[in-house]
Amino acid sequence: MSRTYTIKNKLVESRLFLNRIIAAFIVILLLTSGLIVRLVYLQIVGHEHYATLAKDNSIKIEPLVPTRGIIYDRHGKVLADNTQSFSLELIPEQISNLDETLLRLQTLLNISDEKIDQYQKQRKRQKRFASTPLLISMTDEEIAKFAVVRPYFPGVDIQARLVRHYPYAELTSHVVGYVGRINETEMKSLPIAEYRGSTHVGKIGIENTYETELHGKTGYAEIETNVQARAINTVNSVPPVPGENLYLTLDIDLQKTAYDALGDFNGAVVAIDIKTGGVLVFASRPGFDPNPFVIGIANDAYQALQSSEDQPLYNRALRGLYPPGSTIKPFIGLAGLEYNAISTDHNLFCPGYYQLPNVSHHYRDWKKGGHGSVNMSEAITQSCDVYFYSLASTLGIDRMHSFLQQFGFGEKSGIDLSGEKPGLLPSREWKRQQHNQSWYPGETLITGIGQGFLQVTPIQLARATATLANKGNVVTPFLVKNIANPDSNEPAMENHPSNIPLKSENVNSIISAMVNVIHDPHGTAKSIGKDINYQIAGKTGTAQVFNIKQDAKYNENDIDFKLRDHALFISFAPADDPKIAVAVIAENGGHGGSVAAPIAGQVIKQYLEGNNEN
């Protein structure tokens, strides 16, 4: 094998290299001269121009803040809009003694120290020439008071600003959310150019999830200003692009019905349009008035909200974790049928308690004395615990876990709100990881009646119910139907992630048992079946807040209200052609049948009968 070597010619290489060094040096000199020419142009030719700009006049880039998009409900009712309001604003650059000015303003307009602190914090984040509000939503009296003395306050002025307004106040606080002043952490994560001039940002709810769409695009104006920073000429401007309007699937009238129906109970109601997954009702009670948050809520008012026992700031529909109680039974029953663990005509005798082999512990039925002999349908209709203890024992935790998982238990529903809790669907593996313990058979039993580790959120429960009504076609809930365009329809169901393979005769027998819950004389929610010309399928639930000792008797009159059981109800209607699924949780409501079911009944009635009228 032969290789050709190029012989290095040192002399040629050296000369070539030296030439290149000289060439490089010339290039460097030329480019440097270019820089100097440009500097001469800026500093000698342009000096006067730039010096004027710097000293007497100045080009200021004024951001033009876009108007925030409006949020509508499904019928076009306004849930969030912008109203004109007057604010007192200061430009630090033009104020010789800021502290003294603030003090004078404080005595004049009776401003709290807290507001001054808030202002100071916001001011430090802004440029010295930026106008920063001290008071938002001034009263007519405040405006009049300041107008008189305005000449004595250079750099302080009243500005008209748009302020976010929520007409339905506490009714929409947990779903629409609210905007608030941009805080320091948000300042770091928001795109600085886009938010130059913006004072508010969506904090929770739809306002937060759809911040980008609602905010719009900031425009700007290049303004020539004089020494007093008064604009003398607009050189160039690019208008802002307003934020996009959002059209929700929410029905605010239905939301109000649900919220009012909860009455004095804390809790949540979630209703889903089964055909689309659109959320019709997303109520969490108590709510709070979000409007003070927009203008900066006073510290004591905020403390009061935060320390209230009813926890009004807590979004129960999205983040509330409850044991599902007996509302889990239709799903467990369906699991039994699907896994062939039991047949619909199998009868079981319920003596009022259940015992595991060789264990003395009595797992009690809610009905002392028992239900006697019951089949699947009767067990669901009457909510027999013993039947489901037995079924759970046959199924085992592994099969229950994998079956319930398909209905979305233990995972976020995917609704377009942030901060959702995934709930808890226990499994052997979870318990080993979390508690470093093996799974006990007794835990399987109580999981079968929706107690124990199992925890669900109201939105999860509504979603699972809608999926069941949809015969296993998984429903993904969402709130925003449309962005900007009010006319286009809700997205169709087609592209849903998964279908649960279910035998239709199994689903049908569970649904007919759920119909019996309302329409059978023995049903636990028979009270809401009267005077309606359609059928509702549902299931009541009662979730224990605390454990009763083995031999003690539960008497709701004897115990503290806060320790009373939660009342739950899941339902959908019409049973033969499901349109709406509703989940209700009334905290400390006692019984699902008497407290939670009527709330769902009202929502369904208004939705179906209201629709019929149209």
Partner 1 sequence: MKTETRSEQFHPPSVIGNILRRLHIDIPLFIGLFLISLLSFVILYSAGSQDMDVLMRQAARVGLAFLLMTALAHVDPYQFKRYSALLFGLGILLLIAVLILGQFGKGAQRWLDLGFFRFQPSEMIKITTPMMVAWYLAEHALPPKPKQLLVASILIILPTLLIAKQPDLGTALLVASSGAAVLFFAGLSWRFILAISATLAGLTPILWHFMRPYQRDRVLTFLNPEADPLGRGYHIIQSKIAIGSGGIYGKGWLGSTQSELDFLPESSTDFIFAVFAEEFGLFGCVGLLALYLLIISRCLYIASQAQGTYSRLLASSLAFTFFVYVFVNIGMVIGVLPVVGVPLPLISYGGTSIVTLLAGFGILMSIHTHKKFLPHS
Q: Which residues bind partner 1 (CB under 8 A)?
A: 6-11, 13, 16-18, 20-21, 24-25, 28-29, 31-32, 34-36, 38-40, 42-44, 46-47, 49-51, 53-55, 58-59, 61, 63, 93, 127-129, 192-194, 196, 218, 220, 222
Q: How many residues does the chain have?
A: 614
For the sheet containing 231-238, what is the strand order? 58-64, 219-225, 231-238
* Separation of alpha carbons 17 and 39, rounded Å: 33
* Separation of alpha carbons 422 and 98, rounded Å: 50
For the chain, the straight-line distance linking the first and the last C-alpha, in angstroms and rounded, comes to: 94
The token pair at 244 is 């996009």
The answer to whether residue 326 is catalytic is: yes
For residues 42 and 304, which CB has a smaller minimum distance to partner 1 in the complex? 42
Q: CB under 8 Å to 183, separation ≥6 — which residues?
A: none
Minimum Å gap between C-beta 194 and partner 1 is 8
> Is the bond preceding 330 in cis, omega lying within 30 degrees of 0?
no
Closest CA to 154 of 261, 229, 72, 234: 229
Minimum Å gap between C-beta 32 and partner 1 is 6
Contact predicate 224/231, CB 8 Å: yes
Annotated catalytic residue within 87, 131, 326, 571: 326
**Rg of the chain, C-alpha, whole Å:** 33
* Separation of alpha carbons 2 and 467, rounded Å: 77
| Residue 130, number of CB atoms within 10 A of its CB | 19
For residues 132 and 516, which CB has a smaller minimum distance to partner 1 in the complex? 132
State residue 420 phi and psi, 5-degree precision: -65, 145
Minimum Å gap between C-beta 189 and partner 1 is 10
Minimum Å gap between C-beta 187 and partner 1 is 12
For residues 29 and 149, which CB has a smaller minimum distance to partner 1 in the complex? 29
Left if phi > 0, otherwise alpha if psi is -120 to 50, otherwise beta: which for 253?
Answer: alpha
For residues 240 and 523, which CB has a smaller minimum distance to partner 1 in the complex? 240
For residues 38 and 522, which CB has a smaller minimum distance to partner 1 in the complex? 38
For residues 129 and 554, which CB has a smaller minimum distance to partner 1 in the complex? 129
Minimum Å gap between C-beta 15 and partner 1 is 10
Minimum Å gap between C-beta 193 and partner 1 is 4
Minimum Å gap between C-beta 127 and partner 1 is 7
Contact predicate 483/427, CB 8 Å: no
Minimum Å gap between C-beta 64 and partner 1 is 10
For residues 37 and 103, which CB has a smaller minimum distance to partner 1 in the complex? 37
The token pair at 48 is 């006067």
| Residue 549, number of CB atoms within 10 A of its CB | 7
For the sheet containing 580-586, what is the strand order? 279-285, 267-273, 580-586, 566-573, 537-543
* Separation of alpha carbons 368 and 103, rounded Å: 71
For residues 10 and 549, which CB has a smaller minimum distance to partner 1 in the complex? 10
Contact predicate 269/604, CB 8 Å: no
State residue 267 phi and psi, 5-degree precision: 160, -160
By annotation, the residues acting in catalysis are 326
